[in-house]
Amino acid sequence: MCPKVTLPPPLSAGTGWPWETVTPEHPVDIPHPPPRISIVTPSFNQGRYLEQTIRSVLLQGYPNLEYVVIDGGSTDESVDILKYYQPWLHHWTSEPDGGQSMAINKGLRQTTGDILAYLNSDDYYLPGAFHVVARAFSQKPQADLVHARCQIVDGNGRITAEQFGSIHSFREIVDLWSVWWQRRQFVQPEVFWTRRIMEKIGLLSEELHYGMDYEYWTRILRQGAQLESLDYPVAAFRIHAQQKSAAAEKAAAELLSVVRKYLWEKGSPLPWLERFDLQNHWLYTSVFLRRASESTARNEKPLVRYRRLSHVLLRYPQIALGRGFRARLFSTLSGKTQEQPPR
Protein backbone atom coordinates (compact mmCIF):
# COMPACT_ATOMS: atom_id res chain seq x y z
CA MET A 1 0.00 0.00 0.00
CA CYS A 2 1.04 3.61 -0.47
CA PRO A 3 2.57 5.14 2.65
CA LYS A 4 0.20 7.82 3.85
CA VAL A 5 1.18 11.46 3.85
CA THR A 6 -0.82 13.73 6.11
CA LEU A 7 -1.06 17.37 5.05
CA PRO A 8 -2.71 20.26 6.84
CA PRO A 9 -6.08 21.47 5.58
CA PRO A 10 -5.79 23.36 2.29
CA LEU A 11 -5.64 27.12 2.34
CA SER A 12 -8.26 27.38 -0.40
CA ALA A 13 -11.60 25.66 -0.73
CA GLY A 14 -11.85 22.44 -2.68
CA THR A 15 -13.32 18.95 -2.56
CA GLY A 16 -12.04 15.61 -3.78
CA TRP A 17 -8.55 15.09 -5.16
CA PRO A 18 -6.14 16.59 -4.17
CA TRP A 19 -7.91 18.52 -1.44
CA GLU A 20 -7.92 15.56 0.94
CA THR A 21 -5.60 15.75 3.92
CA VAL A 22 -4.42 12.12 3.76
CA THR A 23 -3.11 10.07 0.81
CA PRO A 24 -5.98 8.00 -0.62
CA GLU A 25 -5.77 4.22 -0.30
CA HIS A 26 -4.19 2.81 -3.44
CA PRO A 27 -2.61 -0.62 -3.99
CA VAL A 28 0.95 -0.41 -5.23
CA ASP A 29 3.60 -2.68 -6.60
CA ILE A 30 6.73 -0.57 -6.71
CA PRO A 31 10.31 -1.83 -6.73
CA HIS A 32 12.33 -2.04 -3.53
CA PRO A 33 14.13 0.12 -2.87
CA PRO A 34 11.90 2.54 -4.76
CA PRO A 35 13.73 4.79 -7.25
CA ARG A 36 13.83 8.44 -6.29
CA ILE A 37 11.39 10.57 -8.27
CA SER A 38 12.26 14.26 -8.57
CA ILE A 39 9.59 16.75 -9.62
CA VAL A 40 10.22 20.40 -10.49
CA THR A 41 7.43 22.98 -10.59
CA PRO A 42 8.17 26.35 -12.23
CA SER A 43 5.68 29.03 -11.22
CA PHE A 44 4.94 32.71 -11.57
CA ASN A 45 1.79 34.38 -10.25
CA GLN A 46 -0.20 31.15 -10.42
CA GLY A 47 -1.49 31.33 -6.88
CA ARG A 48 -4.97 30.40 -8.05
CA TYR A 49 -3.77 26.92 -9.02
CA LEU A 50 -0.44 26.44 -7.22
CA GLU A 51 -1.82 24.79 -4.09
CA GLN A 52 -3.65 22.15 -6.10
CA THR A 53 -0.45 21.42 -8.00
CA ILE A 54 1.58 21.06 -4.80
CA ARG A 55 -0.94 18.85 -3.04
CA SER A 56 -1.24 16.58 -6.08
CA VAL A 57 2.50 15.90 -5.79
CA LEU A 58 2.75 15.50 -2.04
CA LEU A 59 -0.38 13.38 -1.62
CA GLN A 60 0.95 10.72 -3.97
CA GLY A 61 2.37 9.08 -0.86
CA TYR A 62 5.42 7.99 -2.82
CA PRO A 63 8.15 6.88 -0.40
CA ASN A 64 11.15 8.40 -2.20
CA LEU A 65 10.05 11.79 -3.48
CA GLU A 66 12.04 14.96 -4.06
CA TYR A 67 9.94 18.03 -4.83
CA VAL A 68 11.37 21.39 -5.92
CA VAL A 69 9.37 24.55 -6.62
CA ILE A 70 11.02 27.47 -8.42
CA ASP A 71 8.93 30.64 -8.27
CA GLY A 72 9.85 33.61 -10.42
CA GLY A 73 9.19 36.27 -7.78
CA SER A 74 5.40 36.15 -7.71
CA THR A 75 3.45 39.09 -6.30
CA ASP A 76 0.24 37.13 -5.61
CA GLU A 77 -0.41 34.60 -2.83
CA SER A 78 2.14 32.08 -4.20
CA VAL A 79 4.85 32.75 -1.60
CA ASP A 80 2.38 32.29 1.26
CA ILE A 81 1.41 28.94 -0.22
CA LEU A 82 5.04 27.88 -0.53
CA LYS A 83 5.78 28.83 3.06
CA TYR A 84 2.72 26.83 4.19
CA TYR A 85 4.00 23.66 2.48
CA GLN A 86 7.70 24.27 3.13
CA PRO A 87 8.10 21.28 5.52
CA TRP A 88 7.24 18.89 2.66
CA LEU A 89 9.35 20.54 -0.03
CA HIS A 90 12.93 19.51 -0.78
CA HIS A 91 13.72 23.04 -1.97
CA TRP A 92 11.90 26.18 -3.02
CA THR A 93 12.82 29.71 -3.92
CA SER A 94 11.04 32.85 -5.06
CA GLU A 95 13.10 35.34 -7.02
CA PRO A 96 13.12 36.85 -10.51
CA ASP A 97 14.48 34.56 -13.21
CA GLY A 98 14.81 34.40 -16.97
CA GLY A 99 11.57 32.56 -17.66
CA GLN A 100 10.08 29.11 -17.49
CA SER A 101 12.88 27.14 -19.13
CA MET A 102 15.49 28.73 -16.89
CA ALA A 103 13.34 28.03 -13.83
CA ILE A 104 12.96 24.35 -14.77
CA ASN A 105 16.71 23.99 -15.29
CA LYS A 106 17.37 25.75 -12.01
CA GLY A 107 15.12 23.22 -10.31
CA LEU A 108 16.59 20.21 -12.09
CA ARG A 109 20.04 21.21 -10.85
CA GLN A 110 18.69 20.83 -7.31
CA THR A 111 17.52 17.25 -7.87
CA THR A 112 19.16 13.88 -7.36
CA GLY A 113 16.38 11.56 -8.52
CA ASP A 114 16.57 8.60 -10.89
CA ILE A 115 13.27 9.61 -12.52
CA LEU A 116 12.62 13.23 -13.48
CA ALA A 117 9.70 15.37 -14.57
CA TYR A 118 8.40 18.89 -14.34
CA LEU A 119 4.86 19.95 -13.58
CA ASN A 120 3.65 23.45 -14.35
CA SER A 121 1.86 25.28 -11.58
CA ASP A 122 -1.55 25.18 -13.27
CA ASP A 123 -1.47 21.40 -13.90
CA TYR A 124 -1.69 18.51 -11.45
CA TYR A 125 -0.98 14.81 -11.04
CA LEU A 126 -3.68 12.19 -10.57
CA PRO A 127 -3.74 9.65 -7.70
CA GLY A 128 -1.26 6.81 -8.01
CA ALA A 129 0.77 8.50 -10.75
CA PHE A 130 4.20 8.05 -9.22
CA HIS A 131 3.85 4.40 -8.26
CA VAL A 132 2.72 3.35 -11.76
CA VAL A 133 5.54 5.38 -13.32
CA ALA A 134 8.12 3.85 -10.98
CA ARG A 135 6.76 0.39 -11.76
CA ALA A 136 6.94 1.08 -15.50
CA PHE A 137 10.59 2.10 -15.31
CA SER A 138 11.34 -0.93 -13.14
CA GLN A 139 9.70 -3.34 -15.59
CA LYS A 140 11.43 -1.66 -18.56
CA PRO A 141 14.87 -0.71 -17.19
CA GLN A 142 16.09 0.14 -20.71
CA ALA A 143 13.46 2.90 -21.03
CA ASP A 144 14.73 6.46 -21.15
CA LEU A 145 11.31 8.11 -21.31
CA VAL A 146 7.87 6.98 -20.18
CA HIS A 147 4.70 8.76 -21.23
CA ALA A 148 1.15 8.03 -20.14
CA ARG A 149 -2.41 9.23 -20.50
CA CYS A 150 -3.21 12.86 -19.71
CA GLN A 151 -6.58 14.39 -18.97
CA ILE A 152 -7.34 17.79 -20.47
CA VAL A 153 -9.27 19.99 -18.04
CA ASP A 154 -10.66 23.51 -18.06
CA GLY A 155 -9.99 26.32 -15.60
CA ASN A 156 -12.33 24.71 -13.08
CA GLY A 157 -10.87 21.24 -13.39
CA ARG A 158 -13.66 19.76 -15.52
CA ILE A 159 -12.39 17.05 -17.86
CA THR A 160 -12.89 18.03 -21.50
CA ALA A 161 -10.73 15.41 -23.26
CA GLU A 162 -7.98 12.85 -22.78
CA GLN A 163 -4.73 12.52 -24.71
CA PHE A 164 -2.57 9.43 -25.14
CA GLY A 165 0.45 10.18 -27.30
CA SER A 166 1.43 7.84 -30.11
CA ILE A 167 5.06 8.54 -30.97
CA HIS A 168 7.70 5.83 -31.12
CA SER A 169 10.66 7.27 -33.00
CA PHE A 170 12.65 10.34 -33.96
CA ARG A 171 11.13 10.12 -37.44
CA GLU A 172 7.64 10.50 -36.00
CA ILE A 173 8.32 13.30 -33.56
CA VAL A 174 9.84 15.58 -36.22
CA ASP A 175 6.76 15.08 -38.40
CA LEU A 176 4.69 17.98 -37.10
CA TRP A 177 2.19 17.68 -39.94
CA SER A 178 1.17 14.01 -39.89
CA VAL A 179 1.94 13.21 -36.25
CA TRP A 180 2.35 16.02 -33.73
CA TRP A 181 -0.44 18.24 -35.08
CA GLN A 182 -2.69 15.23 -35.65
CA ARG A 183 -3.37 14.57 -31.96
CA ARG A 184 -0.53 12.08 -31.56
CA GLN A 185 1.60 14.46 -29.50
CA PHE A 186 2.80 14.15 -25.93
CA VAL A 187 1.18 16.46 -23.40
CA GLN A 188 3.93 17.75 -21.15
CA PRO A 189 2.83 16.65 -17.62
CA GLU A 190 2.47 12.99 -18.64
CA VAL A 191 6.15 12.61 -19.54
CA PHE A 192 8.87 11.29 -17.22
CA TRP A 193 12.51 10.66 -18.13
CA THR A 194 15.65 9.27 -16.54
CA ARG A 195 18.65 11.02 -15.11
CA ARG A 196 20.67 8.74 -17.36
CA ILE A 197 19.31 10.37 -20.53
CA MET A 198 19.50 13.87 -19.04
CA GLU A 199 23.20 13.38 -18.40
CA LYS A 200 23.60 12.57 -22.09
CA ILE A 201 21.62 15.44 -23.61
CA GLY A 202 21.74 18.13 -20.93
CA LEU A 203 19.01 20.48 -19.72
CA LEU A 204 16.19 22.30 -21.51
CA SER A 205 16.92 25.01 -24.06
CA GLU A 206 16.54 28.37 -22.32
CA GLU A 207 16.17 30.13 -25.66
CA LEU A 208 12.70 28.64 -26.14
CA HIS A 209 9.57 29.84 -24.38
CA TYR A 210 6.76 27.73 -25.88
CA GLY A 211 8.31 24.61 -27.39
CA MET A 212 11.05 23.73 -24.91
CA ASP A 213 9.33 20.48 -23.95
CA TYR A 214 8.94 19.44 -27.59
CA GLU A 215 12.58 20.30 -28.29
CA TYR A 216 13.64 18.25 -25.28
CA TRP A 217 11.66 15.15 -26.30
CA THR A 218 13.04 15.53 -29.83
CA ARG A 219 16.59 15.72 -28.52
CA ILE A 220 15.99 12.61 -26.41
CA LEU A 221 14.75 10.66 -29.43
CA ARG A 222 17.59 11.97 -31.59
CA GLN A 223 19.88 10.13 -29.17
CA GLY A 224 18.11 6.86 -30.01
CA ALA A 225 16.37 6.74 -26.64
CA GLN A 226 13.98 3.95 -25.71
CA LEU A 227 10.36 5.07 -25.18
CA GLU A 228 7.64 3.25 -23.27
CA SER A 229 3.94 4.13 -23.13
CA LEU A 230 1.86 3.67 -20.01
CA ASP A 231 -1.87 3.18 -20.49
CA TYR A 232 -2.82 4.94 -17.27
CA PRO A 233 -3.98 8.52 -16.59
CA VAL A 234 -1.25 10.19 -14.55
CA ALA A 235 -1.82 13.93 -14.97
CA ALA A 236 -4.23 16.71 -15.83
CA PHE A 237 -3.27 19.49 -18.24
CA ARG A 238 -5.26 22.64 -17.67
CA ILE A 239 -6.37 24.87 -20.54
CA HIS A 240 -7.32 28.40 -19.56
CA ALA A 241 -7.13 31.84 -21.10
CA GLN A 242 -4.11 33.05 -19.12
CA GLN A 243 -1.74 30.18 -19.88
CA LYS A 244 1.30 30.78 -22.05
CA SER A 245 0.61 27.89 -24.43
CA ALA A 246 -2.61 29.64 -25.49
CA ALA A 247 -0.40 31.70 -27.85
CA ALA A 248 -0.84 29.13 -30.62
CA GLU A 249 0.89 30.99 -33.45
CA LYS A 250 4.03 31.70 -31.41
CA ALA A 251 4.11 28.12 -30.16
CA ALA A 252 3.80 26.74 -33.70
CA ALA A 253 6.58 29.04 -34.89
CA GLU A 254 8.91 27.73 -32.19
CA LEU A 255 8.14 24.12 -33.08
CA LEU A 256 8.90 24.86 -36.72
CA SER A 257 12.20 26.48 -35.76
CA VAL A 258 13.13 23.39 -33.72
CA VAL A 259 12.27 21.00 -36.54
CA ARG A 260 14.18 22.97 -39.15
CA LYS A 261 17.51 22.12 -37.53
CA TYR A 262 16.82 18.39 -37.71
CA LEU A 263 15.48 18.39 -41.27
CA TRP A 264 18.59 20.04 -42.73
CA GLU A 265 21.27 18.74 -40.39
CA LYS A 266 24.24 16.85 -41.79
CA GLY A 267 24.31 13.19 -40.82
CA SER A 268 20.57 13.05 -40.20
CA PRO A 269 19.29 9.56 -39.31
CA LEU A 270 16.20 10.19 -41.46
CA PRO A 271 16.04 8.36 -44.81
CA TRP A 272 16.62 10.79 -47.66
CA LEU A 273 13.14 10.56 -49.22
CA GLU A 274 11.39 10.98 -45.87
CA ARG A 275 13.56 13.95 -45.00
CA PHE A 276 12.89 15.49 -48.43
CA ASP A 277 9.15 15.13 -47.90
CA LEU A 278 9.33 16.74 -44.46
CA GLN A 279 11.46 19.56 -45.84
CA ASN A 280 8.71 20.23 -48.38
CA HIS A 281 6.15 20.42 -45.62
CA TRP A 282 8.37 22.78 -43.67
CA LEU A 283 8.95 25.10 -46.63
CA TYR A 284 5.29 25.16 -47.50
CA THR A 285 4.20 25.97 -43.95
CA SER A 286 7.00 28.35 -42.96
CA VAL A 287 7.53 30.21 -46.23
CA PHE A 288 4.79 29.69 -48.80
CA LEU A 289 1.83 29.63 -46.42
CA ARG A 290 3.18 32.50 -44.36
CA ARG A 291 3.50 34.68 -47.46
CA ALA A 292 -0.02 33.69 -48.50
CA SER A 293 -1.39 34.58 -45.06
CA GLU A 294 0.33 37.96 -45.18
CA SER A 295 -1.19 38.61 -48.60
CA THR A 296 -4.64 37.67 -47.37
CA ALA A 297 -4.27 39.91 -44.32
CA ARG A 298 -3.46 42.84 -46.63
CA ASN A 299 -6.54 42.05 -48.76
CA GLU A 300 -4.43 41.77 -51.87
CA LYS A 301 -6.14 40.80 -55.10
CA PRO A 302 -5.72 37.18 -56.30
CA LEU A 303 -3.41 38.21 -59.14
CA VAL A 304 -1.09 40.04 -56.75
CA ARG A 305 -1.13 37.05 -54.44
CA TYR A 306 -0.34 34.75 -57.36
CA ARG A 307 2.67 36.84 -58.41
CA ARG A 308 3.97 37.01 -54.85
CA LEU A 309 3.70 33.26 -54.39
CA SER A 310 5.24 32.60 -57.79
CA HIS A 311 8.36 34.40 -56.59
CA VAL A 312 8.41 32.08 -53.57
CA LEU A 313 8.24 29.02 -55.84
CA LEU A 314 11.02 30.34 -58.03
CA ARG A 315 13.22 30.72 -54.99
CA TYR A 316 12.17 27.41 -53.40
CA PRO A 317 11.19 25.10 -56.28
CA GLN A 318 11.33 22.13 -53.91
CA ILE A 319 7.96 23.23 -52.46
CA ALA A 320 6.19 22.26 -55.69
CA LEU A 321 7.49 18.69 -55.40
CA GLY A 322 5.70 18.04 -52.12
CA ARG A 323 2.85 15.56 -51.92
CA GLY A 324 -0.57 17.15 -52.28
CA PHE A 325 0.90 20.46 -53.37
CA ARG A 326 -1.71 21.10 -56.04
CA ALA A 327 -4.60 20.83 -53.60
CA ARG A 328 -2.83 23.04 -51.10
CA LEU A 329 -1.98 25.56 -53.80
CA PHE A 330 -5.62 25.85 -54.90
CA SER A 331 -6.85 26.55 -51.36
CA THR A 332 -4.04 29.04 -50.78
CA LEU A 333 -4.66 31.03 -53.94
CA SER A 334 -8.36 31.18 -53.13
CA GLY A 335 -7.52 32.66 -49.72
CA LYS A 336 -8.39 29.50 -47.78
CA THR A 337 -5.16 28.78 -45.96
CA GLN A 338 -6.39 25.61 -44.28
CA GLU A 339 -3.09 24.02 -43.34
CA GLN A 340 -2.39 26.29 -40.41
CA PRO A 341 -1.13 24.46 -37.32
CA PRO A 342 -4.10 23.66 -35.04
CA ARG A 343 -4.88 25.88 -32.09
73/93 Cα distance (integer angstroms): 8
At 340 the pLDDT is 47
Bridge partners for 56 per DSSP: none
Measured at the CA of 135, the angle between CA 132 and CA 141, to 5 degrees, comes to: 135
Q: 191-239 pLDDT, tens per residue?
A: 999 999 999 999 999 999 999 999 999 999 999 999 999 999 999 999 9
pLDDT tier at 3, thresholds 50, 70, 90:
low
At position 169, the amino acid (one-letter code) is S
What percent of the chain has pLDDT above 70? Answer: 91
**Average pLDDT of span 237-244:** 75
Angle between helices 212-222 and 248-263 (to 10 degrees): 20
146/124 Cα distance (integer angstroms): 17
Q: 90-138 pLDDT, tens per residue?
A: 999 999 999 999 999 999 999 999 999 999 999 999 999 999 999 999 9
Give long-range contacts, CB 8 A cutoff, 24+ apart: 214-217: 214/173, 214/180, 214/185, 214/254, 214/255, 214/258, 215/258, 217/145, 217/167, 217/173, 217/186, 217/191
Asked if residues 2 and 61 have their Cβ atoms less than 8 Å apart, the reply is yes
Phi, psi of 18 (to 5 degrees): -105, 40
pLDDT tier at 249, thresholds 50, 70, 90:
confident
The answer on pLDDT for 143 being more than 50 is: yes
301/299 Cα distance (integer angstroms): 6
Residue with more model confidence, 243 or 134: 134
At 334 the pLDDT is 58
Residue with more model confidence, 313 or 198: 198
Q: 277-292 pLDDT, tens per residue?
A: 999 999 999 999 888 8
Cα 316 from chain centre: 32
pTM score, whole prediction: 0.91
> Between the CA of residue 43 and those of 1, 14, 72, 151, what are the distances in Å?
32, 21, 6, 21
Q: 58-103 pLDDT, tens per residue?
A: 999 999 999 999 999 999 999 999 999 999 999 999 999 999 999 9
Concatenate the DSSP letters of all residues of 73-111 into one string: --SSTHHHHHHHTGGG-SEEEE---S-HHHHHHHHHTT-
Phi, psi of 233 (to 5 degrees): -75, 120
Q: 322-340 pLDDT, tens per residue?
A: 776 766 666 655 555 444 4
